[in-house]
Structure 1
Amino acid sequence: MVHGVHLPRGGPRRRGVAGIPRGHGPRAAAGQSLAPAHRRARAGGGPPLIRITDVHIHIQPWRDLKPLVQEAMRQGKEAHWDFLLAMMDDPKVLLEIMDRSGVWRVGLVNYVSPEVMGFTDATNTFAATYARANAERLLPYGGVHPRYSRDPAGDVDRLIDLGIRLLKIHPPHQLFPANAYTEGLDALGAIYRRCEERGLPVMVHTGTSIFPGARNKYGRPMELDDVAIDFPDLRIVMAHGGRPLYMEEAFFVLRRHRNVSLDVSGIPPAKLLEYFPRLAELADRTLWGTDWPSPGVKDLRQNIDQFLELPLTDPQRTAILETNALALFPAR
């Protein structure tokens, strides 16, 4: 099983609909395939999960990646690179994978990072256009780069007009700390302020990045302590919980500030309680995410199944997989 797609030994099968290997398409129409998959997942007890949201997957214009970044992204998935590029082009491919994986909605992570990743403002239009294929199930994320924007508040307004559901800040890839407005980057403060005013959630990457040129000194969660204090009505999503270096720092910030939620993407589910032993205390503010198909994340469904093996209560699992994301992103 590679990147959400079952491939037989000896190479890929003949392609079926939208590039999916034959024999591996959805079992039923998009709106009908979710409940059976989730009932299988909860066969050991508890009510079925029928509205899982993965708040953090990477559906991006990968052809725009800088060569060294693209090389790093390809590692381990060379045989399936063309398929992944096809998925970036065709939302039907992604929706079929979601159906097979028992995932109702996904957050399409996009942000502006011309220096490190190669992503320009065009990534916002990419995300919004891609999500129009199924506005209920595909949640487009976008970004405003405070070092390049001449009208940061207006650019936030334009994201909302595009249909963007969340703004992503990636300090190691955008080359500033999350609280850089305290050190003179006024445009960043203007972005946070307008998002707070308009009710647009902000996701901030915490922890390290493997990509060439990333400045990992900017990945500390503690900078979000300032942001949560200065913008108390801003809904902040802490992506990755500071993994793999800053989990204790992340937990401190999360416990201190009710307006900060944890996105567990990028953390191997089997290690989640090792990284956050007191995760149950944050169950009402923890969001399910995988980081798929980034390096090291092979399969949407496999991560869900591993998470369901953790010693959490059914209400805690349901909150993390379903209801917390519904509160952040009400169904449309």
Structure 2
Amino acid sequence: MDTTRLTAIDVHTHAEISRDGASSLSPELLAASADHFKAHGHRQPGIDETAAYYRDRDMAAVVFTVDAEHATGHPRIANEEIAEDCARHPGTLIPFASIDPHKGRAGVREARKLVERYGVRGFKFHPSLQGFAPDDPIAYPLYDVIQELGAVAIFHTGQTGIGAGVRGGGGIRLRYSNPMLVDDVAVDFPDLRIILAHPSFPWQDEALAVAGHKEHVHIDLSGWSPKYFPPQLIRYANSLLQDKVLFGSDYPVLTPDRWLADFATLDIKDTVRPKILKDNAVRLLFREK
């Protein structure tokens, strides 16, 4: 990928619908997410439409789904399908994958295949939706192969709109998405490149502490309009963590157009803006393994 021509790299976008029209979430959880984001009627773009959207804006985007089959019983979108579709747009889309940690050795074999045969560059974990704590040894074989292959692990952190307002939260436990649980992962896998996704409400200070303390832990800014960012997140992004903070939108529920318009109003140093929008992602995603 020629990153010199890009204005930004969005490290957090979702493949919500498969080639045959199947959704990545059950109707109940999808409706709860739409309620949370006030995104009723939002379209679920396919990979080609996503690529066209970002290409028109001279941007690149990381694309992934979430495999939560064990906890939800809902079939995932195939990682191979997403990677193959992204491969049609090599100058625009960056394929990530998602493997439920409960899949054990089968998941480890799949991760290796996805990186070596399909060019996948990272893996998305949603601990609350997948029903596991990030520091649970059940996931360690998967982290081990991701670290070995030089790929990136991105963890949902903080509250989630998925299950919000549903009876019992749809069975989704928020405590699994405390970023402090990822601190153990960063200790036990010191060369694993990690992204803590989202402003981590109600654990923003924990996320800043982990990213500030652990060499390869980063933070993406997806899922929130920048005008709602906690002041300490802006302060750290502008100073101590300026090389570890990444632009992410959460497309399609939050578009880059909306995110960037609000980001432009923040008091961010001129020298820091390009780091957040592109430079930090280039260094993280395209360094030599």
Instruction: Tell me the TM-score normalised to structure 1 length.
Output: 0.75
> How far apart are 1:206 and its partner, in Å?
0.8
Instruction: Tell me the TM-score normalised to structure 2 length.
Output: 0.85
Sequence identity percentage: 26
> How far apart are 1:154 and its partner, in Å?
1.8
1:136 corresponding residue in structure 2: 91
The amino acid of 1:150's aligned partner reads R
Matched, 1:250 2:207: yes
| Kept after mapping to 1: 8 A contact 2:104/2:141 | no
Matched, 1:313 2:272: no
Matched positions, count: 269
2:27 corresponding residue in structure 1: 67
Matched, 1:214 2:214: no
Of the three residues 289, 302, 306, the one matched with 2:248 is 289
Matched, 1:239 2:197: yes
Matched, 1:162 2:121: no
> How far apart are 1:311 and its partner, in Å?
1.3
Instruction: State the Cα deviation string for residues 151-187 of structure 1 (Å, max 9, x = none).
Output: 3432221121222111111100110111011xxx2xx
Matched, 1:325 2:281: yes
2:14 corresponding residue in structure 1: 58
Distance 2:285 2:60 in 1: 10
The amino acid of 2:59's aligned partner reads W
Query: What CA RMSD, in Å, does the superposition of the two structures yield over aligned residues?
Result: 2.4
| Kept after mapping to 2: 8 A contact 1:254/1:260 | yes
Instruction: State the Cα deviation string for residues 202-259 of structure 1 (Å, max 9, x = none).
Output: 11111111323321110101011111111111101111142x2000111111111111
Distance 1:99 1:163 in 2: 20
| Kept after mapping to 2: 8 A contact 1:176/1:218 | yes
Q: Any residues of structure 2 matched to 1:197-208 within 5 Å, and which? A: 197-208=148-159
Q: Any residues of structure 2 matched to 1:22-41 within 5 Å, and which? A: none
Runs of 5+ unmatched residues, structure 2: 164-169
Distance 1:264 1:111 in 2: 18
1:300 corresponding residue in structure 2: 256
Instruction: State the Cα deviation string for residues 5-24 of structure 1 (Å, max 9, x = none).
Output: xxxxxxxxxxxxxxxxxxxx
The amino acid of 2:242's aligned partner reads A
| Kept after mapping to 2: 8 A contact 1:111/1:119 | no
Q: Any residues of structure 2 matched to 1:10-29 within 5 Å, and which? A: none
